[in-house]
Every structure is written in C-alpha cells, then in structure tokens.
Amino acid sequence: MNVAVFVKYIAQGTAYTLGVTAVALPSGLVLGTLFALLAVYGGKVLRQIMTFYSTVMRGIPPIVLLLILYFVMSGQINLSPFWAGSISLGIISSAYQMEIIRGAILSVSSGQMMAARSIGLTRMQAITNVILPQTLRNAIAPWSNEAAIIIKDSSLVYALGVPEILRRAQLIGASSQSYLLAYLTAAIIYFLLVFTSSRLLGLLEKKLEIPANP
C-alpha cells in the first residue's frame, strides 16, 4: 500500500471540513452576537425568547438537527448535504456563541454605559462604539474554544455522505484494513487544524488586547 496515496486521499477531506467550518462559525458569530445584544439590551420579552432559543439549541445534539434539516425538511427546502450540515452547525453554534458574547457583554463594567450616555452618545452609539468593541475582544479567548469544537463537529456531516476527513478515513480503512493508519491520519489532521486555529486566535487576542486591562 502506498502510504502517500492513502494519506492524500484522507487529507482531501480537509477542504470539506474547512468549508463547513467557514460557513458555520461566522454565521454563528453574526447570529450569536445579534442574539446576545437582544438578550442583554432587548427588554424582558426578547430576553426570554433568546434564553428559550439558547436552551433549546444547546439541548439538541448537532447530528439530530442535521438529520432533521436534511431528511425531514426536504419537502420544504431542498438543501445539499454540505449546506444542510453547515447551516445546522451554524444554528447550534449561534446559541453557544450567544452565551459567549452575552457573558463578554456583561463583563464590561456597567459604568461604561453610563459614562458613554453622559457624554451624549445614544444607547445604540454606546453599544456599537463602546460596549461591543470591548466585548468582542474579551470574547476571543472563550470563542477560540468554540472554533475548535466546530472544526471537530464538522465531521458529523459524514452522516449525510459528505466525503470529509472522517468518512474518508472510514472508507479507506475498510478497504485496506489499515484502520490504525486511517484513524491516526484523521486524528493528526484534526489536531493540526485545531492547533493552527488556536494559535492564530491566540495571536489575535494578544494583538487586540485592551491596553487598560490589567
């Protein structure tokens, strides 16, 4: 068996893994930030709706939502396996990211809002110019955790037949009977992806550190 061909076959799945992550993570961030703002500043009703959303979405295993979106909802919306997988992971991730951002918003001292309002900023201006920039900086560290989880959870799209890293490792492992090599290759690729992304986010965190923070 040609090991180079073998490893290459599994590594080709990286494109799908990165693709799913590239859709799920940013869409989860945008939705999560919006939901967090609504939960903190949106008033009682919106806060309750957002809490409900977050509780439900964090309570559903990603694979269940993925199967529902692909097989059950196919009469309503016909999604490709890739999009069904990416969107479900994005939805679930938005709930987790909402909690990350919500925590980061609450960690910004309430005096900041008062100070901003007292110098004449509107509430909206205070949120976008004072609160949110600090929030997002504070959120990078916990957020890198979520990024690692999404990279690894992207393997779930194999259930719909997307030939990503794990599914490729299974297929080549079955045909060659070299399971150890197949799964080890998959593990190393996932590790490298998570390691690289964590390091990059670590650098970003350093660069964007709030100077006044102790």
Partner 1 sequence: MKKGLTLFVLVILLAGIVSACQPQAAAPQATTPPEPAAPASKLDAIKTAGKIKVGTSADYPPYESVDSAGAYVGFDIELMAAIAEGMGVQLEWVDMPFDSLIAAVQENKIDLSISCFNYSEERDQQVDFSEAYYTSEDAFVVGKDFAGTIAKPEDVVAYKVGVQSGTVQDDWLTTNLVDTGLLKAENLSRYERVDQAALDLQAGRVDVLMADYVPANALVKQFEGFNIVLKSVLSTGPLNIVLPEGDAVLKAEIDKQIAALQASGKITELAEKYFSE
Chain residues in the site for partner 1 (CB under 8 A):
1-2, 5-6, 9, 12, 63-64, 67-68, 70-75, 81, 158-161, 163, 167-168, 170-177, 179
Least separation in angstroms between residue 96's CB and partner 1 is: 21
CB closer to partner 1, 127 vs 156: 156
CB closer to partner 1, 67 vs 148: 67
Least separation in angstroms between residue 189's CB and partner 1 is: 16
Least separation in angstroms between residue 153's CB and partner 1 is: 15
DSSP codes joined into one string, the chain: --HHHHHHHHHTTHHHHHHHHHHHHHHHHHHHHHHHHHHHHS-HHHHHHHHHHHHHHHHS-HHHHHHIIIIIGGGT----HHHHHHHHHHHHHHHHHHHHHHHHHHHS-HHHHHHHHHTT--HHHHIIIIIHHHHHHHHHHHHHHHHHHHHHHGGGGGGGT---HHHHHHHHHHHH--HHHHHHHHHHHHHHHHHHHHHHHHHHHHHT--TT--
Least separation in angstroms between residue 87's CB and partner 1 is: 16
CB closer to partner 1, 75 vs 214: 75
CB closer to partner 1, 12 vs 145: 12
> How far apart, in whole angstroms, are the C-alpha atoms of residue 194 and residue 150?
10
CB closer to partner 1, 137 vs 167: 167
Least separation in angstroms between residue 184's CB and partner 1 is: 14
